[in-house]
Structure 1
Amino acid sequence: MRGHENPALDVALHLGRRWDRPVFVYHALDEEYPYASDRHHTFILEGAREVAAELARRGVGYAFHLARPGHDGPHLLTLAGQAAAVVTEEMPVPFLRRWTERVRAAAAGPLWTVDCDCIVPLPLTRAGTTDRAFRFRQATARLRRERIERDWRDAPPPEGGPWIPDDLPFDPVELADADLAALVASCRIDHSVAPVPHTRGGSRAGYARWQAFREKGLRSYHRRRNDPLKDGVSRLSPYLHYGHISPFRVAREAAAEGGDGAEKFLDELLIWRELSHAFCFHRLDPDGLEALPAWARETLTRHGGDPRPVIHSMETLERGRTGSDLWDAAQRSLLIHGELHNNVRMTWGKALLPWSRDAGEALARLLELNDRYALDGRDPNSRGGILWCLGAFDRPFDPPRPILGRVRGREVEGHARRLDVAAYTRHTTRPALDPAPRVAVVGAGMAGLAAARALTDHGLHVRILDKGRRPGGRMATRRSREGWMADHGAQFFTARDPRFARHLPSWVEAGVVAEWKGTVVRLVRTDDGVLESEPARESRRWIGTPGMQALPGHLARDLNVHLSRRVVGLAQDGRRWFLRIRDEGAEMAGKGASAPDVGSPDVEWEEGPFDAVLFTAPPPQTARLLESVAPDLAARVARVPVAPCWAAMVEVDGRVDLPFDGAFLPGPILSWISRDSSRPGR
């Protein structure tokens, strides 16, 4: 979205003049788009702030809606039902196509989609020319020559000035002075994927990056573009993806520069990029294997049963922990910086086929890794690059090889021999924030471990402190001297939130989580005092295996965890924080800690400085620590209700003959009973 050189906006403005109707721009950000996260939300909002200001200067009415709790609703459908016409962008990705069709069905008048991304508009391309770059280049040459150097003149503003409906069905967000971080935090999205502070959204940042590349990189682009250790590429893809900069202006100015570097850059921008857009435009499902050429589907199917050297879990892949130094460095570039050098991206993508069970799984994983972390994710251009890894836009290579078949190979090991992998790793694993903040996490339960893991994976320095002897908090299993086991903390967990549920397959694969399929009922008391059973709420229940601590132990495995460390004080010095620590008298299970007389009770010392402290301990404990430095926050924490409970572990001789393995009881004394021996690993 941008307020200049925007074909969809110009169509709407011309239509408004022709029909004598006001023009209104509705700009919204939903929580339901694929892989919605702090990273994507922040970049979009930074761009939207500039769009609001730009349209105000042009005299075009504009309102922004941010979906969040208390601010939901089908507002676009409502507005479409009141509009004389709807004009929107043609973006050939499946989820936007589905949304556009919903709007078309609700619209009172016609709906037009306008290509805002390509020099050669998508409706003027032919499906038969989108299988290979050379065919597309030849087929679009005349249209490209005619259009590349055209000056752009924005349509004149509406004659009546900016117009906004009086009866908007939502409260617009005033972006000019909004706290964008607070808005993002209020949304129900993935908060474990952080914004990229060195790549801000918006036209100003995008054109500043383009101008720097024009001056220092464009002339040598043809020589330097394949080396990820040289600053030889434009890094414009996020701004092109979100429409923050005009591809027409970029192409026009690159053509004016001339030379071998500009020629190669334009080949990437206007041939390969627009080929991917046209390819997706002419296919119903560009995200599936059916998008591949027939020869690629045939050879991948034929070799689908070939033995794989290793099948990595998604958790291993996402975190860049495969053990392949180059691949892991590439993935960390995506995770931390939201970008991946195109030459490395090809090697990164090709590696997934041998590490996945079949081509379908490899494609799904590539799309998820790219779309979740890359700022240019969910774009036709990145779709094209991923599909190329599986044979699209390419020819077959003979003789066939194991796993790949006739698909072009590109081994990670071979690429690593041509690159200083250690230097590349230092480059990609550098923190997005410089210097990297130091964070203390108080509490090594599930919340503390999950937060610490996300922060650590983004390159921050994190130290976890917990008073217990092992990580896990309420995720606890007791083993007796006689050998029986009992879960005396959390009894099970469910996974109703997709942001959490997506991790389950990896944990099951790692052997630290299993589904508990025992019979669970709810006991209700009838009017005459008799307990009767009814099925409990239908839900899949999960447990740690062989004990509940297995999952937190897995999460803590490569984190900086310090156990038997009770935080007894908190002090502030400017923007820095210091913790007062007391040794609880047990060995530490962490790395890099320094403390006097480890294992000696009642020894205290100070640790710090920290740039931030994250408390995940129970509210009463947290409130006491905050009282002296943040009394208002301490008061809020103290008001959080806490419902303590007792857990009784009972061993009986023989099996208790009951028709269930777990039951919710009406109380008032007992609320839950469970047969622990019915659980996997117990």
Structure 2
Amino acid sequence: MQAYRRFDSNHAFFYAYSLAKKHKKELIVYEGLRSDYPWNSERIHKFILEGMYDNQTRADELGINYWPFVESKFNPARGILKEISKDAAAIVTDDFPCFIIPEQITKLAGKVNCPVYAVDSNSLLPLSRFEKEASAARILRIWIHKEFLKGMPKFTKQKWEKEDLQGLHQNSKPPKGFGLPKDLDSFLNTIDFKENVSPATGIKGGRNEALKILKSFVSKKLKDYEIGRSNPNPPNLTATSGLSPYLHFGHIGIEEIFNAVLEISSKGKWNPERLSHQKPGDREHFYSDSTSANHFLDELITWRDIGYLFFWKNKPSRIHLENLPDWVKSNFKKHKSDTREYLYTLEQFESAKTHDELWNAAQIELVKTGRMHNYMRMLWGKKVIEWTKTYEEAFQILEHLNNKYAYDGRNPNSYTGILWCFGLFDRPWFPERNVFGNVRFMSSDSTKKKFKMNTYLEYIDELSGNSDLLFP
């Protein structure tokens, strides 16, 4: 359990259960947490651990042999999986296509003496159904809709009962060193994190919190999603789900969100026959009669999948400017020597000390809350491109800030979202501009004209303690 960290609605867990039953072997669920992953911090560590505590509770309810392991100075994670799998019939894990996980799976398969099965639980549709990555959302949308019309995806078991797992031998005890810390905050103080980032106030990880957030979203905000999601506002006034971190760490599954959205938008009457058979690619009407539900599901499925599929074909740990389309590379080659009106260092960006109040506000929101309003994230990325000496430096700064502070960083959509600012999945725009060429341009002035920003700026002012300084 390394990407999709839950028991319910989990294809990998269901497959592991099926193998255990077939081979009449014990089912042991191992969930580990290293301390040395890139961009590690107390913020990310605590969020993951809160999910592990929820998993321990759920495992106890179901009678599952759950072996969590949390690395520390005095409890290093060396050779653990090889040791506990020496008599295994098979190892089942998550086929997550990004960050450190693809490399970990490859190394694991080379060290153990049993088959290693990596299960794709990344989306509603298996990513292997698509022959190649999509160059734009409008293209992938059509592909996805056509696949749906061939037949609904096969969902896994949504919720387990203790009786479902009876008959499995669950008698082994974990080796010494396994188990969760008794006092979470005290334990976190013992870790030498590379990044000094505190947990965000009011943010809690774990499955229980994810399910609460989902319930609140579909009952209170979903109906306003189509028109209410774009305007920058505090999270409680913005019609977005807030589920991205929980999806990233696998505390909730995309199937659960899909079902909950269609259940409430159709008042319990949804079934596959309600899919639009008229026009694959129609994001307004394809899934249901609710345009807000359709817009949300298009973000959840099409725009999420486009990032995952981009990684899926090669499974690199990260992507960078070399992955941009040729027209963008030509633009940047032509404009690389353009004069930049402003130039800022990483330190100035990180501490929100630019001349632009909207950019500073977006950065403060990221640092303080681990999230950023989606429209502001696009503006945030575009301006870093404009205010750095080179496109390569801009990418490095955006990657670092996003992965250091965002709860949902280190994800396929983190990288494709950053590269969207450079032109990925977009088209050429005219007129041609300084620095950007034909890559889409965004400005704070146009944002102020498009939206009423007072409420958002007041919210940021509260986050920063009514101070002009991000780090007093």
Which position in structure 1 is the counterpart of 2:165?
A: 157
The normalised TM-score by structure 1 is: 0.61
Partner of 2:254: 247
Structure 1 residue 104: deviation in Å?
1.4
Paired residue type of 1:272: W
Q: Are residues 110 and 307 of structure 1, via their aligned partners in 2, closer, same or farther at CA, if it must alter by over 3 Å?
A: same
Q: Deviations over 1:398-434 (max 9, x none)?
A: 3422111121111223213333444322213434xxx
More strand as a share of residues: 1
Secondary structure class of the residue paired with 2:260? helix
- Shift in alpha-carbon separation, 1:158–1:350, aligned structure 2, 3 A: farther
Task: Show CA shifts across 1:245-279 (max 9, x none).
Answer: 12101111212314111111000001101111111
Query: In 2, distance between residues paired with 1:206 and 1:153?
Result: 15
Indicate how the Cα distance of structure 1 residues 112 and 428 shifts in structure 2: closer, same or farther if over 3 A, else same: farther
Task: Specify the alignment match of 1:238 in structure 2.
Answer: 245
Residue pair 1:148, 1:252 contacting (<8 A) in 2 also: no
The C-alpha deviation readout for 1:146-177, integer Å capped at 9, x for no partner, is 336957455742623434455x2x411245xx
- 2:209 corresponds in structure 1 to 205
Is the contact between residue 38 and residue 194 of structure 1 (CA under 8 Å) also seen in structure 2?
Answer: yes
Equivalent in the alignment of 1:674: none
Q: Could you say which residue in structure 2 is the equivalent of 1:384?
A: 416
How far apart in 2 are the matches of 1:430 and 1:92?
38
Decide which of 369, 373, 385 is 2:401's aligned counterpart: 369
Is 1:351 equivalent to 2:351 in the alignment?
A: no
In structure 1, what is the Cα distance between the partners aligned to 2:167 and 2:460?
A: 51
Going from structure 1 to structure 2, the CA distance change for 1:242 and 1:558 (only over 3 Å counts) comes to: closer
Is 1:34 aligned to residue 38 of structure 2?
Answer: yes
**2:177 is matched with which residue?**
171
Distance 1:276 1:391 in 2: 14
- Greater relative contact order (CA < 8 Å, ≥ 6 in sequence): 2
Matches within 5 A, 1:414-433: 414-431=446-463
Alignment match, 2:232? 228
Q: Is the 8 A contact 2:370 2:405 kept in 1?
A: yes
RMSD across aligned positions (CA): 2.2
Aligned residue in 2 for 1:504: none
**In 2, Cα distance between the equivalents of 1:234 and 1:365?**
27
**Structure-2 separation of matches of 1:164 and 1:108:** 20
- The answer for the alignment partner of 1:295 in structure 2 is 327
**Contact map agreement 1:399 1:406 (CA 8 A) in 2:** yes
SS at match of 1:112: strand
Counterpart Cα distance in 2 of 1:413 and 1:195: 32
- Report the AA paired with residue 86 of structure 1: I
Q: Which residue of structure 2 lines up, in the alignment, with residue 281 of structure 1? A: 312
Query: What is the letter of the counterpart of residue 280 of structure 1?
Result: F
Q: Aligned ranges for residues 252-267 of structure 1 at < 5 Å?
A: 252-256=259-263, 257-258=265-266, 259-267=290-298
Partners of 2:21 and 2:168 within 8 A in 1:
no
Judged with a 3 Å threshold, the aligned counterparts in structure 2 of structure 1 residues 284 and 173 are, in CA distance, closer, same or farther, namely closer
Task: Verify the 8 A CA contact 1:39 1:194 in the aligned structure 2.
Answer: yes
Aligned to 2:146: 142
**Alignment match, 1:103:** 108
Q: Contact (CA 8 Å) 1:59, 1:161: kept in 2 or not?
A: no
Q: Which moves more between the two structures, 146-155 or 66-75?
A: 146-155
Contact persistence 1:283–1:291 (CA under 8 A): no
- The amino acid across from 1:216 in the alignment is K
Cα deviations by residue, 1:639-679 (Å, 9 ceiling, x for unpaired): xxxxxxxxxxxxxxxxxxxxxxxxxxxxxxxxxxxxxxxxx
Shift of 1:27: 0.8
Residue 300 (structure 2) aligned to one of 269, 274, 289: 269
Residue 238 of structure 1: how far off its partner (Å) = 0.7
One-letter code aligned to 1:142: K
Question: Which structure shows the higher helix fraction?
Answer: 2
Alpha-carbon distance in 2 for matches of 1:182, 1:389: 40
2:129 alignment counterpart: 124
For residues 75-94 of structure 1, what are the structure 2 equivalents within 5 Å?
Answer: 75-94=80-99
Counterpart Cα distance in 1 of 2:200 and 2:154:
34
Cα distance in 1, alignment partners of residues 413 and 436 from structure 2: 23
Distance of 2:384 and 2:366 partners within structure 1: 15
Counterpart position of 1:17: 21
Determine helix, strand or coil for the equivalent of 1:279: helix
Q: Secondary structure at the match of 1:65?
A: strand
Structure 2 counterparts to residues 53-64 of structure 1, below 5 A: 53-64=57-68
In the alignment, the residues of structure 1 paired with residue 155 and residue 83 of structure 2 have an alpha-carbon distance, to the nearest angstrom, of 38
Instruction: State the match for 1:401 in structure 2.
Output: 433
- Determine the structure 1 residue equivalent to 2:275: none
Structure-2-length-normalised TM-score: 0.86
Q: 1:83 to 1:151 in 2, by over 3 A?
A: closer
Alignment of 1:568-647 (within 5 A): none
SS at match of 1:181: helix
Q: Which amino acid aligns with 1:29?
A: L
Please list the CA deviations of residues 4-37 of structure 1 after superposition, one character each: whole Å capped at 9, or x if unmatched: 1111111111011112221111111111111110
Tell whether 2:118 aligns with 1:113: yes
- Unaligned segments of structure 1, at least 5 residues: 432-457, 462-556, 561-682
1:42, CA displacement in angstroms?
0.7
CA distance in 2, matches of 1:401, 1:305: 13
Give 1:222 shift: 0.3
Question: How is 1:535-574 mapped onto 2 (pairs within 5 angstroms)?
Answer: none
The amino acid across from 1:78 in the alignment is: E
Any idea what SS the aligned residue of 1:217 has?
helix
1:323 to 345, 349, 355: 355
Q: State the AA in 1 paired with 2:299.
A: E
User: Partner of 1:353: helix, strand, or coil?
Assistant: helix
Taking a change above 3 Å as real, the CA distance of residues 80 and 298 of structure 1, as seen in their structure-2 partners, is farther
Alpha carbons of structure 1 residues 419 and 360: separation in structure 2 relative to 1, 3 Å: same
Whether contact under 8 Å (1:23, 1:158) holds in the other structure is no
Report the AA paired with residue 119 of structure 2. Answer: V
Q: Kindly tell me: are residues 345 and 150 of structure 1, through their superposed partners in 2, closer, same or farther at Cα, counting changes over 3 Å?
A: same
Cα offset, 1:72, TM superposition: 0.6
Q: Distance in 1 between matches of 2:409 and 2:171?
A: 34
Inter-partner Cα distance in structure 2 for 1:249 and 1:215: 15
Does structure 1 retain, via aligned residues, the 8 Å contact 2:97–2:315?
A: no
Indicate conservation of the 8 Å contact 1:82/1:107, yes or no.
no
The 3-state SS of whatever aligns with 2:385 is: coil
Q: 5+ unaligned residues in a row in structure 2: which ranges?
A: 267-289
Cα 1:306–1:82 shift into 2, 3 Å: farther
Cα distance between partner residues in 2 of 1:265 and 1:113: 29
Compare CA radii of gyration and give the structure with the larger one. 1
Distance (whole Å) between structure 1 residues aligned to residue 24 and residue 466 of structure 2: 56
SS state at 1:127 partner: coil
- The separation in 2 between residues aligned to 1:163 and 1:40, in whole angstroms, is 33
Letter in 2 for 1:269: L
Aligned counterparts of 2:337 and 2:114: Cα–Cα separation in 1: 52
